[in-house]
């Protein structure tokens, strides 16, 4: 009887260990992990990402460096290009980095906390939306941060036309070419249409911001104006 009892205990231990490592057990852990990123959690992260995107990097840096309002300098835009022309390239580089990081950091932090690719892309775009809606920028630098948070390997390839076009003084066109190339690069790297959805959403937000133009600019009414807005990022 004692032998049968000890044998039963051993069998129970083995069964217990097998159940811990079984697909059913791992499925329960996966379900619990998925519940961690439910709607409430995502909305809390989205609020933080939007708040980060609302940080007015350009006006802050300009005020610190030269004690002037950026709205009164150059073309009045809050982006790094206007800061670089009006204040200096070092200040412009600082604004570029800050605008990229305020989208990159929330999205990357969410990934480290267990968010999947779709939520990471969404949070980065929410931060970019905060920059566009509140700071009234075009969102190109924030889009750079979002793309790196989505897929660093994709953006490493995408930086080739971006850097090349910028060196040739065709920055606005280089941003457009890079943005349009990202879904194709993602498909080539991962062979997954789902992974390309994030870059496609990024393109939609970026070009919508360009089409909107500066406050009070009005809607484009001719093909030339459409071209200037969408490709050259100009009001004319």
Residue 13 has pLDDT above 60, yes or no: no
Model confidence at 10: pLDDT above 70? no
How crowded is residue 3: how many other Cβ atoms within 10 Å of its Cβ?
A: 7
Domain ranges across the chain:
38-232
Q: What is the pLDDT of residue 236?
A: 62
- C-alpha span between 43 and 214 (Å, rounded): 29
Please name the residue that has the structure tokens 């990159």: 104
| Confidence (pLDDT) at 140 | 92
What Rg value do the Cα atoms of the chain yield, rounded? Answer: 24
Q: 77 to each of 62, 110, 145, 157, 199, how far by Cα in Å? A: 12, 30, 19, 29, 25
pLDDT digits (tens, 9 = 90+) for 78-127: 989 899 999 999 999 999 999 999 999 999 999 999 999 999 999 999 99
Considering the entire predicted model, what is its pTM? Answer: 0.80
Q: What is the pLDDT of residues 129-153, one digit of tens each?
A: 999 999 999 899 999 999 999 999 9
What are the pLDDT digits (tens) for 50-67? 999 999 999 999 999 999
Residue 22 has pLDDT above 50, yes or no: no
Q: Write out pLDDT tens, residues 157-182.
A: 999 999 998 888 888 889 999 999 99
pLDDT digits (tens, 9 = 90+) for 208-226: 988 887 766 777 788 888 8
């Amino acid at each position: 009887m004692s032998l049968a009892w000890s044998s039963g205990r051993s069998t129970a231990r083995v069964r217990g260990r097998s159940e811990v490592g079984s697909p059913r057990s791992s499925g329960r852990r996966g379900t619990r992990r998925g519940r961690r990123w439910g709607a409430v959690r995502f909305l809390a992260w989205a609020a933080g990402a939007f708040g980060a995107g609302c940080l007015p990097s350009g006006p802050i840096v300009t005020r610190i460096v030269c004690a002037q309002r950026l709205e009164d300098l150059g073309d009045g835009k809050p982006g790094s290009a206007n800061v670089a022309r009006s204040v200096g390239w070092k200040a412009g580089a600082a604004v570029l980095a800050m605008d990229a990081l305020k989208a990159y950091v929330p999205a990357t932090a969410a990934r480290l906390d267990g968010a999947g690719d779709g939520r990471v892309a969404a949070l980065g775009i929410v931060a970019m939306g905060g920059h566009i809606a509140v700071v009234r920028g075009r969102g190109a630098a924030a889009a750079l941060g979002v793309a790196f948070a989505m897929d660093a390997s994709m953006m490493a390839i995408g930086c080739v036309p971006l850097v090349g076009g910028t060196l040739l003084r065709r920055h606005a066109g280089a941003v457009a070419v890079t943005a349009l190339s990202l879904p194709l690069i993602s498909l080539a790297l991962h062979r997954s249409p789902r992974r390309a959805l994030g870059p496609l959403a990024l393109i939609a937000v970026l070009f919508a911001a360009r089409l909107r133009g500066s406050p009070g600019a009005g809607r484009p009414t001719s093909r030339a104006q459409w071209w200037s807005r969408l490709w050259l990022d100009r009001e004319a």
